[in-house]
Chain A
Amino acid sequence: MNDNFDRRQFLKLAGLGGAVFASALNGWAQPAKSGRRDQDFYFVQLSDTHWGFNDPTINPDASGTLRKAVAAVNALRHKPDFVVFTGDLTHTTDDPVERRKRLSEFRDIASRLEVKTVKYMPGEHDASLDRGKAFKEFFGAPNYTFDHKGIHFIVLDNVTDPAAAIGDEQLKWLETDLARVDKEAPIVVLTHRPLFDLYPQWDWATRDGAKALELLKDHEYVTVFYGHIHQEHHFATGHIEHHAAKSLMFPLPAPGSVPKRRPIAWEASAPYHGLGFRQIDVDTSKPTYALAELAVREG
């Protein structure tokens, strides 16, 4: 069976009516495998949708970009097993009523995904001002686990504490959970902020992320998918790989490349440049994760 290859070929050739294309795989990605096993699957990561953001110089299609991404996912010939949103579903607001309005509107749009399972987690924009109260009303717990076809997924919350910490209580929860997982079992951590000190000068870190990595390090196959930095980024701490996803509202500069961490302005000559989402093909036999970065296009 070669569904994986067929799906990518379809994306490249058809482009879903010009909505998306599959970019060349970067150095971290593995080539699609032939002879896939029944257990193999793929999921889609969308991140940093910042619903409610309003600055036409940064994104003149602020109300349309997420909808385009949802349409692109729905147009995939083979449905992903699930979709995950890795935080900053909404753009922050000091007004609790407006926060709930944005969360509600976001949920309505995300509900149009024609995928049975959608996983959510908060970003600091959603949850840091009220310690996750509104987020929980709409999406439930900010940290949880689930298992899918032999992969143990752990959703870690590093944003409901406004100090960007996981916190001792959740770390204990993580330790307890990991104690039940075989050391050789594949683990995927889904979170919002980087768990390592990517660039603390821009607050691209998690206060106690090192404690989580210390708990995870004894497990042989650990991969982290996160958001927050609005760009593709790949890094390894020991044997643990970390992959940041693009935003679906505005890109941010490469860490330390400019004095200020400010959204990159819209390029009229290259609309949606720097925005996108990710397809992750999972070969459960290794395990390996083949990443395909999909761009948002005018449609």
Chain B
Amino acid sequence: MALDRRSRLPVAVVGGSALLVCALALVQTVFSHAHGGSEAVIPVTVKRFEYSPHEIRLKKGVAVVLEITSLDVPHGFNLPDFGVRADVVPGMPAHVRLVPDKTGTFTFHCDVFCGTGHEDLDGTVVVTE
């Protein structure tokens, strides 16, 4: 039963006040910089209704930071297979640190309802050895 898994998400930014989002975004940025230098930062943009890139290719065991920027309205980034998610607010890039521990193709999606094409707003992370 996965009921408690969400509470352990390392980079969870659960909706709420802009202040909370700001604070967590700051924490994430610092966190990213603390590990920066050695970790690749992969820029990702999201808009209604497309992530770019749509496919993100990663190596197993290699840490990366996804820097996700909304180009229009609030979106989400949720990659359940790795237990990470973030709110993506326009003007405030979200930083999601990820160390893939398994290979395969995994779907990420927007989990903040954003319009008529929301349910098709997704992409894939492909992790190879």
Which residues of A pack against B, CB within 8 Å? 92-94, 124, 128-129, 159, 161-165, 196-197, 200-203, 207-210, 213, 237, 259, 261
Closest 4 CB pairs of A and B: A128-B113, A163-B15, A200-B80, A162-B113
Chain A's closest residue to B124 (CB) is: A259
> Which residues of A have CB within 8 Å of B107?
201, 259
Q: Report whether B15 and A165 are in contact in the complex, using a CB–CB cutoff of 8 Å.
A: yes
Q: How far is the CA of A197 from the CA of B2 in the complex (A)?
A: 6
Q: How many residues of B contact A (CB 8 A)?
A: 25
* Docked CA distance A92–B121 (Å): 15
Could you say which residues of chain B place their CB within 8 Å of the CB of A161?
A: 15
Q: Which residues of chain B are within 8 angstroms of A200 by Cβ–Cβ distance?
A: 2, 78, 80
Answer whether residue B116 sits at the interface, using C-beta atoms and an 8 A cutoff: yes
In the complex the two chains form, is A197's CB within 8 Å of B113's CB? no
A interface footprint on B101-129 (CB within 8 Å = 1, 0 otherwise):
00000010101111110110000000000
Asked if B38 is an interface residue, CB under 8 A from chain A, the answer is no
Contact pick for A162, options B4, B6, B114, CB 8 Å: B114
In the complex the two chains form, is B111's CB within 8 Å of A210's CB?
no
Across the interface, name the chain A residue whose C-beta is closest to B12: A207
B76 at the interface (CB under 8 A from A): yes
For A93, list chain B residues within 8 Å (CB): 116
Please, could you name 10 A-B residue pairs with CB atoms under 8 Å apart, sorted by A?
Answer: A94-B115, A128-B113, A129-B113, A162-B113, A163-B87, A196-B1, A196-B2, A201-B80, A202-B109, A207-B14
| Beta-carbon contacts under 8 Å, B84-113 to A | 87, 107, 109, 111-113
Q: How does the 8 Å CB contact mask read for B6-29 relative to A, with 1 for contact and 0 for none?
A: 110000001100000000000000
Tell whether, in the assembled complex, residue A163 and residue B111 are in contact, meaning their CB atoms are under 8 Å apart.
Answer: yes
Q: Does B34 contact A (CB under 8 A)?
A: no
CA separation between A213 and B3, bound complex, in Å?
Answer: 9
List the B side residues contacting A163 at CB < 8 Å: 14-15, 76, 87, 111-113
Distance (whole angstroms) from the CB of B54 to the closest CB of chain A: 13
With contact pairs A94-B115, A124-B113, A129-B115 given, residues A210 and B6 touching in the complex (Cβ less than 8 Å): yes
Complex alpha-carbon distance, A72 and B8, angstroms: 46
> Smallest Cβ distance from A253 to chain B, in angstroms?
13
Would you give the shortest CB distance from B24 to chain A, in whole angstroms? Answer: 14
Which residues from B are CB-within-8-Å of A159?
113
Give me 20 other A-B pairs in contact (C-beta within 8 A), A196-B2, A201-B81 excluded: A92-B115, A94-B115, A94-B116, A128-B113, A129-B113, A159-B113, A162-B112, A163-B15, A163-B112, A163-B113, A196-B3, A197-B6, A200-B78, A203-B109, A203-B119, A207-B14, A209-B3, A210-B3, A210-B6, A213-B3
Chain B residues with CB below 8 A from A197, complex form: 2-3, 5-6
Distance in Å from the Cβ of A245 to the closest Cβ of chain B?
Answer: 19
Most A CB within 10 A of own CB, among B15, B76, B87, B109: B15
Residues of A within 8 A of B112 (CB): 162-164
- Point out the residues of chain B lying under 8 angstroms from A162, CB to CB: 74, 112-114
Interchain CA distance A161-B76 in the complex, whole Å = 13
The interface residues of chain B lying within 8 Å CB-to-CB of A259 are 107
Q: Contact at B1–A237, with CB atoms within 8 Å?
A: yes
Residue of B4, B6, B76 with most partner-chain A CB within 10 A: B6
**Which residues of the partner chain B approach A261 to less than 8 Å between Cβ atoms?**
119
When chains A and B are docked, how far (Å) is the Cα of A162 from the Cα of B14? Answer: 12
In chain A, what residue has the closest Cβ to B79? A201
Q: In the bound complex, how far is the Cα of B6 from the Cα of A201, in angstroms?
A: 13
Rounded to whole Å, the gap between the CB of B112 and the closest CB of chain A is 5
